[in-house]
Amino acid sequence: MILAAIIFPGMAWLLPAVAIVAAAIAALAWSYRRGAAAGIRAACALLKLTAVAALAFCLLEPLLSRQRAKPGANFLTVVVDNSQGLQIHDAGAARSRGEMLRDALDPAAAPWLGTLGTHFQLRRYAFDARLQEVRAFSALDFSGRASAIATSLRSLADRYKDRPLAGILLFTDGNATDVAGGLPDLEGLPPVYPVVVGKADALRDVALERVTVAQSAFEDAPVTAQVDVAAHGLGTEPLLVRVADASGTTVAEQGIAARPDGSPANLRFHWKPAKPGISFFGVGAGTASEMRGTIPATNTTEATLANNRRVVVVDRGRGPHRILYVAGRPNWEFKFLNRAAQGDDQLEVVGLIR
């Protein structure tokens, strides 16, 4: 695409201009054929010839022609990622990626947005699982549970089909949740200018990858929880995994050393809930120093604390559990079954004799 070109409206003066330059060359060669040193004569002749050539060039009336968009004729979209991934803290950073991004998009601190608004029809969008237009980026809370980059770009292409969309300015950490591998299909899209938020350094993080609970319907049987915990960037630093009830009282905890390769470690917990019915328990993981309160949570060195806690539900039911015995006459086995059940508070035998 040609952005600029030089045109010559005075092409009718081309031959006279060439003739003037040729006459100047002949005159200079005749006048400087003898006299001072050869080097001085050549330099003086070259300077005069340059001046004559410049005057001859001006006869052609050269003009520089450039293409420039009419202010406000085209659209420009500013698209910002509003997913939970922007809550991550880079190594050594006191503020999250989202907080720094929100400041960068503040009109008071970022006059470049106003400058773009004088040249384009500026449209602001935020996306997580879906794309939505926003009035200002100050309302971003970075709480979205997905980062649909490819879907949002395709949605913009559909919205601005057959409309003059000059480009898409995309602010994101690059962790798309709707792209299996490789780049998304960008056919039909205007130029996309990605601005990647965050550093490429390794992050320190502890994560609960999976928590599963196995339980029995009987109240006196213990609850078993399988917990997979992984750590990244912590070497072999000690970790602590804790199970607490709704009041915050610890019911079980285990310590383990982080694995340098980041593979998850499997832990098993057993505890007996204090009351029947439905109970909620929190499973938390982190470095041993932070979990024991040696380091305040506000001074955490982890990238994010959003993946350090899970809540599990335990339904113990309410006993006793009844057993219905139906028979045509009272048998000896009913007597023995009834006597055996009397020794268990969770069982009650009811007989129906017909």
Domains of the chain, residue spans: 4-66, 75-196, 205-315, 321-353
DSSP 144-155: BS---HHHHHHH
The pTM assigned to this predicted structure is 0.60
The pLDDT value recorded for residue 303 is 77
| Continuous H helices in the chain | 14-31, 38-58, 97-104, 112-119, 149-159, 288-291, 332-341
Strand partners, 255: 240
In the prediction, which pLDDT does 319 show? 65
Render pLDDT for 298-353 as a digit per residue (tens, 0 to 9): 566 777 788 889 999 888 766 677 888 888 777 778 888 888 888 777 778 888 87
Nearest residue to 228 via CA among 183, 194, 269: 269
Domain 205-315 has CATH 2.60.40.1520: yes
The rounded distance, in Å, linking the Cα atoms of 26 and 329 is 141
Residues 82 and 144: their CA atoms lie apart, in Å, by 6
Nearest-CA neighbor of 199 among 96, 81, 342, 346?
A: 96
Locus of tokens 């503020």: 95
Rounded-to-integer distance, Cα 5 and Cα 131, Å? 41
More confidently predicted of 175 and 41 = 175
**CATH fold of 75-196, please?**
Rossmann fold (3.40.50)
